[in-house]
Structure 1
Amino acid sequence: MIKSLYIRNYVLIQTLDLDFESGLTAFTGETGAGKSIIVGALSLLFGQRADIQVIGPHADDAEIIAICHIESGSEADLWLKSQELEHDGEIEIRRTIHKSGRSKIWLGGKPSTNKTIQQLGEMVLQIHGQHDQVKLLQPAQQLHIVDSYGDFKQLLQDINAISDDWRTLQKQLEGLHNSGSLSAEQLQLLQYQFEELSNLELQENEYDSLHKQLEQATHAVELKSSLTQAQQLLSNGDLNASQILNNVSQSLSQTKGYDFSSIIGMLSEASINIEEAAAEIGLIEQNIDDDPQTLQTVEQRLDQIYSVGRKQKIEPHQLYQHTQELQARLSKHSEQDSEKQELEKAIQDSLDQFHNLAKQLHKKRQKAAQALATEISKQVKTLGLADAQLKIEVHRDSDKTPNPLGQDQVEFTVAINKGQSFQSLSKTASGGELSRIALAIEVSINQQQSGTFVFDEVDTGVGGATAEMIGQLMQQLGHNNQVFAVTHLPQVAGFADQHLQVSKENVNGITQSAVAVLEHEQRIHELARMSGGQNITETTLAQAREFLKTG
């Protein structure tokens, strides 16, 4: 509820500081006094588009501040916590408008935005007036009304959770497709390529090894001849290097007159190296295969590799690595395919659960809609629409994808007069009729709720017993809510728990609106003025006391 409202330099109000109570508060006053200014200020505070024309005369800016009570555990409380806005059961909303056109909003002392404050406003304040029923005509709001009446919180929470799960799984599946998942054509091609490479049975480094073998096999005879000659010169010939070194060493060791030990050591080491080189050459010679069949086998194997490389447009030396990459890609696809199947099954399970819950919700909504339509029709008949009947149709779209609100569309239809067919509210109801229907709806669904409702002259064009019934319904709605009623009917104002009178006066040549809280006797005189005009008589006073007594 709104606990207090401060207004400065707004339209005809220079300064106004009001404290409000729970229950029904009536705003009354003469025509043109500015009763609806309060409604305008609240609308502006909760996100209505700012217009510099609302700034009071001779002022540079306007300011509106409200202190709202936030009930613990309420929708508004949970929303504020989600916005990281701390409060101790009360929160301040402040808005300023400057002549330059600049507008600023603060929520809980922190700068805020129109969109944010509008979201909060939808939770704590509802305004109904002659020309302010657009929200009631919206399908989303009509669905919300049925849900508020039926109280399907747990079922809606379950549907919301399933819808979230379904969307998450869908995103995971989409991500899987976008992460390189193979199409059927791609998979077929890769499997064919991999099968061809697997049949080739290419080993790591085999291509390089075959090239070396080819080089050896091509020059095998020449190589063997050269190696045999080398061995002859090093150690096997009649006069070889090893023998020459031994002869030199022996000659120097027998020569007197000089110490040749270091040179003899070098010659000995050289002789050992020559022997090792000769032995290595011998091993190489033994391993050289000069069989013509070997050359043919190597050439055939290389031809196989070249052929596959050409078909797959891969360089021969890259075929082995390409095989490994194909295997890894096919393995990943297999894993993804398995994961995809699991995701698709989970998605279908979520979809089945959603359809099941949505079907349950549809049946409950139909039942609630029928009961609510009966209740609203009953209330509307007491508000001067004796022949009006309301019908609420609930249609289920079974093909609709998971949605936090289920699969239903709701439409309020009404027949105002006897013999008329049912039509949507937007096509058949006037502004005044819509206002009274809105009052009937709020009374029907908000007996156990908690919020602030503003009714701006919804009683226009009625009187007598109907006016009294409007006041009675507003009072009834105020038992668990805060209700503001801008009214010109004493029958309505008589039901108020708090009565505020709006007046207009001339201060130093400037017209200003003022608001006064009326006490008991003041209320009687105001009700008398409303029922009898400026000439207040004992009759009008007696009638005013009756209005107050009835209320």
Structure 2
Amino acid sequence: MLLQLNIQNFAIVRSLDIDWQQGMTTITGETGAGKSIAIDALGLCLGDRAVTNVVRADCKKAELAATFDTSHNIAAKNWLKHHDMLLDNECILRRVISAEGRSKAYINGSQVPLAQLKEIGQLLIHIHGQHNHQLIVKASEQRNILDAYANHQHLLDEVKYYYQQWRSLSQEAQTLQENKLQREAQQQLLQYQVQELNEFSLQPDEFENLEKDYQRQSNGQHILSETLSAVQQLSEAEQFNVVDSLRSSADKIAGLANYDGKLKAIAEQLNEALIQVEDASQELKHYYQSVELDPDSYSLIEERYSSAIMLAKKHQVAPNALAQFHQQLLQELALFSSDESRLIKINDDIESAKQQYQNAANILSESRAKAAAKLSKMITNSMAELNMAHGKFAIKVSQDKLDHLSLHGHDNVSFLASLNPGQPLEAMNKVASGGELSRISLAMQVILADKVITPSLIFDEVDVGISGPTAAMVGKKLQQLAKNTQVICVTHLPQVASKGHQQLFVAKLTDGEHTETTVTELSRDGRVQEIARLLAGDKVTDTSLANAQELLAG
């Protein structure tokens, strides 16, 4: 519920602190005093668009803050917790607006986008303005009202789920169908490419081995001549070879080591070198003897190696990546086959989702029909209490074309009314005036009070155009509504003002140069005087005072 509203330098308000109570609060005042200023300020705290003229003249900025108790508002607390703004059992919405029209928004001290003010605001309070009754003539609002009364959110969620499933599948099928021709052309190209690569059948790592074999075979003669030359230099040349030279040097140093022990280590190194060179020479000789030049084998290797390079160039990949590219094309081709299979199967899936949607929508329709009958009777009775004795109200639930699927089921919900004897039931906007629509709207609000999620409701002069016994009944209805939720009502009717548990008086003061609006909580005596003024006008009489006391006692 709303606890406090602080207003600084807003419109003609210099500074206001308003404390709000549970139950019903009425706001009265003279015409032009600015009874709706507090509501306008609260609207800005809830995310309404700001304009430059909201800042008091000669001031740099306006500051507005609304404090709410969230101890029993689970939805609001969950929202605050989700956004890391939970602060005990309070929610403070603050708005700062500069004279140039720039504004900043805060929730529990954290600066936030304006959209977040609107989100949390919907969970805290609802402002029912003078023209809000016009909403109830809209088909979507009528459906929402009926669904709120029926309290079948689980059925709405189920219909929504199957509708979204059907829509997603239908869009997938449409995409598959639209891309079919393009897919077929791509598939033909892929099939040609895969067939060519299948025939060549290059295996993983095969190109690297081919490249090695090709280099060996193409340089075979050079390898033979060079290895033979190396063998001769190492061990077989008669005039000079490395082995004989090393052996001679090793023997000499070994002999000298008998005279100087420091040469012993060097002699050992030379012997080790001699052994390694002899081993290398033998291995090189064996290698030379094992090499065979096979022109036929070389021709095959050269042909496959060249073909691999040409294929890689054709597909614009590196030769060593050709085998991997082949596998990639195979996978893409398999996906095309998968798309074709999916296109065949998806129609069955669409029909299944559509059938599940129809079943859920039919159950929703039955629930709406039952709720419509009950709500129609309750609103008809409430209309009689609101001085529409001959009024009748009916909710018509008709089904749209069954092949037309929507997020809300296949029902058309229409609110019909008849206000005079013999008059047929017709759409409300055709038979009801603005005042009558306002009363019907109020009747709905009272009936739906147990199901209202927002813990606070504000009525901004919704009683315009009514008087007498009707006004008294409107006051009782609002008071009845206040048993379940906090009700704040801006009114000019004494019958409504007297039903409030708290009454605020709005006055406009001026010293000839400056104008200022004040809001005062009225005492019991103050309420008698104000209600008497509403009854009699500026000239309060003993009779009007007595009537005021009677209204407050009622």
- Give the TM-score range, shorter chain: 0.7 to 0.9
Match of 1:518 in 2: 522
Q: 2:458 touches 2:487 (CA, 8 Å); kept in 1?
A: yes
Aligned-partner residue type, residue 393 of structure 2 = Q
Q: 3-state DSSP class of the match of 1:96?
A: strand
Residue 395 of structure 1 contacts residue 409 of structure 1 at CA under 8 Å; is this kept in 2?
yes
Q: Which residue is 1:131 aligned to?
A: 131
Query: How far off its partner does 1:278 sit?
Result: 8.5
Which has the larger displacement, 488-497 or 381-390? 381-390
Shift in Å at residue 223 of structure 1?
Answer: 7.2
For each residue in 1:28-52, what CA deviation from the matched residue of structure 2 results, as whole angstroms up to 9, or x when unmatched? 2332232222222222222222233
Q: Distance in 1 between matches of 2:527 and 2:451?
A: 30
Q: 2:201 — aligned with what?
A: 198
Matched, 1:541 2:541: no
Stretch deviating more after TM superposition (410-419 or 469-478): 410-419
The answer as to whether partners of 2:211 and 2:305 remain within 8 angstroms in 1 is no
Structure 1 stretch displaced more, 110-119 or 513-522: 513-522
* 1:484 equivalent among 480, 484, 488: 488
Following the alignment from structure 1 to structure 2, what is the Cα–Cα distance between the partners of residues 158 and 484?
36
Q: Shift of residue 296 of structure 1?
A: 3.9
Q: Answer yes or no: is 1:208 the counterpart of 2:214.
A: no
Over 3 Å counting, the alpha-carbon distance change for 1:401 and 1:416 in structure 2 is closer
Counterpart in the other structure of 1:528: 532
Change (3 A) 1:7 1:276: closer
| Structure 2 residue identity aligned to 1:494 | S
Which stretch shows the higher mean deviation, 44-53 or 274-283?
274-283
| Correspondence for 1:90 | 90
1:68 alignment counterpart:
68
8 Å CA contact 1:242, 1:275 repeated in 2: no
Q: Is the CA contact (8 Å cut-off) linking 2:190 and 2:329 kept in structure 1?
A: no
Deviations 1:356-386 (A, max 9, x none): 6555445434443454344334434443454
Separation of aligned partners in 1, 2:60 and 2:212 = 91
Answering whether residue 111 of structure 2 is matched by residue 111 of structure 1, we say yes
1:477 offset after TM fit, Å? 0.8
Residue 480 of structure 1 aligns to a residue in which SS?
Answer: coil
* Structure 1 residue 286 displacement after superposition: 5.8
Distance 1:521 1:324, change over 3 A: closer
Query: Which residue number corresponds to residue 102 of structure 2?
Result: 102
* Contact persistence 1:231–1:282 (CA under 8 A): no
Q: Measured at CA, do residues 432 and 121 of structure 1 come closer, stay the same or move farther in structure 2, by a change above 3 Å? A: farther
The letter of the residue matching 1:42 is L
Residue equivalent to 2:501? 497
Where 1:50 maps in the other structure, the secondary structure is coil
**Structure-2 change in CA distance of 1:146 and 1:287 (3 Å):** same
Aligned-partner Cα distance in 2 for 1:473–1:279: 112
CA contact (8 A) 1:27 1:502 kept: yes
Identical amino acids, percent of aligned pairs: 29
Aligned to 1:442: 445
**Alignment partner, residue 255 of structure 1:** none
Q: Which residue of 2 aligns with 1:471?
A: 475
How many residues get paired?
Answer: 515
Q: Is the 8 A contact 1:384 1:462 kept in 2?
A: no
Q: Distance in 2 between matches of 1:526 and 1:123?
A: 34
Contact 1:391–1:413, Cα closer than 8 Å, also in 2: yes
On the 8 A contact 2:214/2:301 being kept in 1, the answer is no
AA in 2 matched with 1:4: Q
Tell me if structure 2 keeps the 8 A contact 1:21–1:498. Answer: yes
Q: Is the 8 A contact 1:29 1:35 kept in 2?
A: yes
Alpha-carbon distance, 1:423 to partner: 3.7
Segment drifting more, 198-207 vs 5-14: 198-207
- Alpha carbons of structure 1 residues 41 and 202: separation in structure 2 relative to 1, 3 Å: closer
- The answer as to 2:288 corresponding to 1:284 is yes
- Please identify, of 50-59 and 100-109, the stretch whose mean Cα deviation from structure 2 is larger: 50-59
Residue 397 of structure 1 deviates from its aligned partner by 8.5
Q: Does 1:462 align with 2:499?
A: no
**What code does the residue aligned with 1:45 have?**
C
CA distance in 2, matches of 1:4, 1:186: 73
C-alpha distance in structure 2 between counterparts of 1:121 and 1:234, whole Å: 96
Counterpart contact for 1:130–1:458, Cα < 8 Å:
yes
Shift in alpha-carbon separation, 1:167–1:233, aligned structure 2, 3 A: same
From 355, 379, 382, the equivalent of 1:379 is 382
Structure 1: distance between partners of 2:276 and 2:36: 119
- Cα distance in 2 for residues equivalent to 1:311 and 1:79: 61
> Is residue 435 of structure 2 the alignment partner of residue 432 of structure 1?
yes
C-alpha distance in 1, partners of 2:286/2:15? 116
What do residues 395-454 of structure 1 show as CA deviations (whole Å, max 9, x unaligned)? 679778996xx54676554446554664475x7765434433332222121225452111
1: distance between equivalents of 2:355 and 2:479? 46
Within 2, Cα distance between the matches of 1:107 and 1:316? Answer: 59
Stretch deviating more after TM superposition (118-127 or 152-161): 152-161
Counterpart of 2:50 in structure 1 is 50
Query: Tell me, what secondary structure is at the counterpart of 2:18?
Result: strand
**Contact 1:306–1:316, Cα closer than 8 Å, also in 2:** no
Instruction: Work out the CA distance in 1 between the residues paired with 2:63 and 2:522.
Output: 25
| 1:409 to 1:134, Cα distance in 2 relative to 1, 3 A | farther
Deviation sequence 1:321-366 (CA, Å, 0-9, x none): 4124422664688699989999x99x97988877765554454344
Match for 2:201: what amino acid?
S
Moved more, 203-212 or 351-360: 351-360
User: Aligned partner of 1:123: which letter?
Assistant: L
| Contact 2:214-2:305 at 8 Å conserved across structures | no
Moved more, 197-206 or 102-111: 197-206
For 2:538 and 2:61, how far apart are their aligned partners in 1? 36
Question: Following the alignment from structure 1 to structure 2, what is the Cα–Cα distance between the partners of residues 233 and 104?
Answer: 91
The within-5 A match list for 1:216-235 is none
Report the Cα offset of residue 496 of structure 1.
1.7
Query: C-alpha root-mean-square deviation of aligned residues, in Å?
Result: 5.2
1:437-475 CA-to-partner distances (Å, cap 9, x unmatched) read 332222121225452111122222212222122111111
Q: Is the 8 A contact 1:373 1:392 kept in 2?
A: no
Q: 1:538: Cα distance to partner?
A: 4.1
Contact 2:137 2:415 in 1 (8 A): no
TM-score by length of 2: 0.72
Task: Tell me, yes or no, if the aligned pair for 1:4 and 1:67 is still in contact at 8 Å.
Answer: yes
Kept after mapping to 1: 8 A contact 2:205/2:320: yes
CA contact (8 A) 1:9 1:59 kept: yes
Q: 1:543 to 1:297 in 2, by over 3 A?
A: same
Structure 2: tracts of 5 or more residues without a match: 174-182, 249-254, 258-269
| Cα distance between partner residues in 2 of 1:52 and 1:233 | 101
Q: Is the 8 A contact 2:142 2:415 kept in 1?
A: no
Secondary structure (helix, strand or coil) at the match of 2:450 reads: coil
Q: 1:256 corresponds to which residue?
A: none
SS at 2:506's partner residue?
strand
The alpha-carbon distance between structure 1 residues 353 and 77, as it changes in their structure 2 partners (threshold 3 A), is farther
Task: Please identify, of 386-395 and 474-483, the stretch whose mean Cα deviation from structure 2 is larger.
Answer: 386-395
Using the alignment, how far apart are the partners of 1:363 and 1:110 within structure 2? Answer: 46
Aligned partner of 1:32 in structure 2 is 32
